[in-house]
Amino acid sequence: MVQKLENIEQTITESGMWEVTKNFLGLHLNLGRDISISILDFLIIITAIFLTTIVLRIVLKIITRNLPEEDKGKFGVFYGYFRWLIYAIILLITLHNVGINVTAVFAASAALLIGIGLALQTLFQDIISGVFILIDQSVHVGDIIEIDGKVGRVEEIKLRTTRAVTIDNKVLVIPNHLYLENSLYNWTQNGTTTRENVAVGVAYGSDVQLVKKLLLQAARTHEAVISEPEPTVVFTDFGDSSLNFKIVFTLADSFKAQFPKSDIRFEIDRLFREHNVSIPFPQRDIHIIEKK
């Protein structure tokens, strides 16, 4: 009999504790006329945020496992922006599922969100483009790139901008979104050496074999020209006023190609003068017809 009374008393006590806990979790906090949240809802939201944090960390490790250490730090900056966006989405979804009027939240913050979105539109374009550059490795530090008619050697790749130095030592700051809007030429993606050329025209009647020999001599004697592959001469066309040739050669540093190309042009002019090979200027024959 005593044991039964103790069991009944324990049941009443446990039932009372459950009721107290249930009532406590059901307490609501009014944040406005249309927004009310209970302690249980709050705990659900905290749990959803915690699980989202774990998932985001796993995804970050999977994406960055093949990136260099330097690029991992840069990607971490983007992860910071992306993480808060995901948190906001998960928060709104969770609020909707627990019965909170999300429409009221949107109505209260719509004007602010529109203003922020317009102000940060270009910023997010730059950041997303920077992420693409880091992931697909299309541009590296040290590469020589040409974009929008500008050429520079890449010195630093940030999440929002790429910093390059031009041949005249001017700093070129390229917003990363330009990579999505313009064609990017990477001069050195296939290697540091590049094929360059110098074009020249000679007068009709010139000894083309002598011209070929002199062009090869001008290229081979320059210290910046690589011997393998060997320079070659291309007879490009019969022009209106000249026979057109092109001397093709390989340089180890194409970023400063204008200087050896200038030297080769000086040498071609000297050799042509020495061997009486003339470089013609454009000529036109004019026929005058007199009417009687």
Q: What is the CA radius of gyration of the chain?
A: 36
Q: Tell whether the model's pLDDT for residue 72 goes beyond 70.
A: no
Cβ partners under 8 Å of residue 100, min gap 6:
35, 36, 37, 41
Per the DSSP assignment, residues forming a β-bridge with 245 are 200, 235
Q: Which amino acid is at 292?
A: K
Cβ proximity of 236 and 199 under 8 Å: yes
The reply to whether 182 and 199 lie within a common domain is: no
- pLDDT band (50, 70, 90) for residue 1: very low
Q: Each residue of 14-52: pLDDT tens digit? A: 455 556 565 555 555 555 555 556 666 677 778 888 888
The reply to whether 180 and 199 lie within a common domain is: no
Could you say which DSSP state residue 267 is in?
A: H
**Domain contains 91:** yes
- What pLDDT was estimated at residue 147? 82
Whether residue 229 is preceded by a cis peptide bond, meaning omega within 30 degrees of 0, is: yes
The reply to whether 108 and 203 lie within a common domain is: no
Angstrom distance (rounded) from CA 64 to CA 105: 35
The reply to whether 66 and 20 lie within a common domain is: yes
- What pLDDT was estimated at residue 228? 84
Angle at 113 between CA 112 and CA 117, to 5 degrees: 120
Q: Which amino acid is at 92?
A: L
pLDDT higher for 120 or 185?
A: 185
Two tokens, residue 180: 């999505």
**Domain contains 279:** no
- What pLDDT was estimated at residue 2? 41
Which of 92, 138, 135, 140 has the alpha carbon at shortest distance from 113? 92
The reply to whether 60 and 98 lie within a common domain is: yes
The reply to whether 114 and 34 lie within a common domain is: yes
Q: How many domains is the chain built from?
A: 3
- What pLDDT was estimated at residue 264? 94
Two tokens, residue 287: 């026929």
Query: Cα dist. 99→33, 47, 96 in Å?
Result: 15, 16, 5
- What pLDDT was estimated at residue 22? 59
pLDDT over 90 for what percent of the chain?
20
Pairing status of strand 184-186 against strand 243-251 = unpaired
Could you say which DSSP state residue 146 is in?
A: E
Cβ proximity of 175 and 165 under 8 Å: no
Work out the mean pLDDT of the chain and round it to a whole number.
Answer: 76
What average pLDDT does the segment 100-104 reach?
A: 60
- What pLDDT was estimated at residue 246? 95
Q: Tell whether the model's pLDDT for residue 272 goes beyond 90.
A: yes
Query: Cα dist. 136→91, 139, 175, 219 in Å?
Result: 32, 8, 17, 37
Q: Tell whether the model's pLDDT for residue 173 goes beyond 60.
A: yes
Q: Each residue of 233-242: pLDDT tens digit? A: 999 999 888 9
Q: Tell whether the model's pLDDT for residue 109 goes beyond 60.
A: no
What average pLDDT does the segment 202-216 reach?
A: 93
The reply to whether 149 and 200 lie within a common domain is: no
Angstrom distance (rounded) from CA 157 to CA 78: 13
Number of neighbouring beta carbons within 10 Å of residue 8: 10
pLDDT higher for 226 or 283?
A: 226
Cβ proximity of 281 and 272 under 8 Å: no
Distance from the Cα of residue 230 to its chain's centroid: 35
Q: Tell whether the model's pLDDT for residue 13 goes beyond 80.
A: no
- What pLDDT was estimated at residue 233? 94
CATH number for 51 = 1.10.287
**Highest mean pLDDT out of 24-33, 108-117, 218-227:** 218-227
Cβ partners under 8 Å of residue 288, min gap 6:
none
What average pLDDT does the segment 196-219 reach?
A: 92
Q: Is the dihedral of CA 195, 198, 199, 204 positive or negative?
A: negative
Residue-number span of the structural domain to which 102 is assigned? 12-119
Q: Which amino acid is at 104?
A: A
Angstrom distance (rounded) from CA 283 to CA 286: 10
CATH number for 153 = 2.30.30.60
